Amino acid sequence: MTLTSREVRFSLPSLEVAGKVWGEPGGIPVIGLHGWLDNAATFDHIAPALKGVQLVALDLPGHGLSDHLPMAGYSLWQQASTVLQVAEDLGWERFALLGHSMGAIISGILTGSLPERIIGAAMIDGLMPFTSEPDDAPRQMARFFTSSLAVGNKRKPVYDSVEKAISARVLGGTTSIAREAASSLVERGLMPDHGGWTWRTDPQLMLPSPLRFTNKHAESFIEAISSPAMLVLANQGVMHEHPQVLDRIERFKHIQLHKMDGGHHLHLEAQAPDVAALLNDFYAALPKVDSSAP
């Protein structure tokens, strides 16, 4: 795989989606999916080390350089549908996935739903979404309604330098992240504003979900996975804050599980070479399919 990436844009029926491409046609076609509030740069440190694949890493809608969606447009299934639209645009009937965090959850949903299209899914510190039970649905919807009314009144912060934006990401993120790792994500996620810099990210992404899967819903997608699947679990990652989720992960014997010391963004930090080595072994074992250049 080439050390440098190139930019790509997909003109889908309802929006434009941006991305980064590593590798050339002929390798295993892989679509990369980043985590919540991140972007395609999440794979900058591991993509150059991948062998025999063509990686198309997306800025999912509302993130990075991609278009935003209308109100209430963001859901796991909507984002998954966008991935399929990109695959159609690429001419990829069958392809593999590489997902981190939210992107890993979307990968699990797609792989469980469409085994005939997904030849394999590698997931990094993410597998199942936050869940709630039916009795909580009215309260969850109320939280969404209340927050959506206020979202238009909130102003994005403006930083007078990119360095200050990076510091804000390091200090104010929902998970810990090294400065070098944050730099890759921040520089793709900023836009000029009033002589400074502010986030490109759609503020709607901060809204609570109007609906959540139940535990059974979430488990059903993972149990339905029949293609090869692998999870790299960060020993100091976000899932260790939810012991009940870890217990469920241990029960999914059909998912290759690799535990590794590191935080939630370990693929962007010091552990990136070790993560890339696991990914190379995983993708090398997948059946070969032809890919077309985006």
**Over the chain (294 residues), what is each successive 10-residue block's mean pLDDT?**
88 95 93 97 97 97 95 88 97 97 97 97 94 95 93 87 95 86 94 94 93 93 97 90 79 94 96 98 89 51
Q: What was the pLDDT predicted at 289? A: 80
Residues annotated catalytic, as ranges: 101
DSSP state of 279: H
**Helices 76-90 + 102-113 axis angle, to 10:** 70
The CA angle 222-75-216, to the nearest 5 degrees, is 35
Three-class secondary structure assignment of 162-190: HHHHHHHHHHHCCCCCCHHHHHHHHHHCE
Which residue bears the tokens 């002589």? Answer: 195
- In the chain, the domains with their CATH numbers are 6-132+212-284 (3.40.50.1820)
Which residue bears the tokens 């591991």? Answer: 46
Cβ 259 vs Cβ 30: under 8 Å:
no
Cβ 231 vs Cβ 259: under 8 Å:
no
pTM equals 0.95
**Helices 179-188 + 162-172 axis angle, to 10:** 120
Q: What was the pLDDT predicted at 293? A: 45
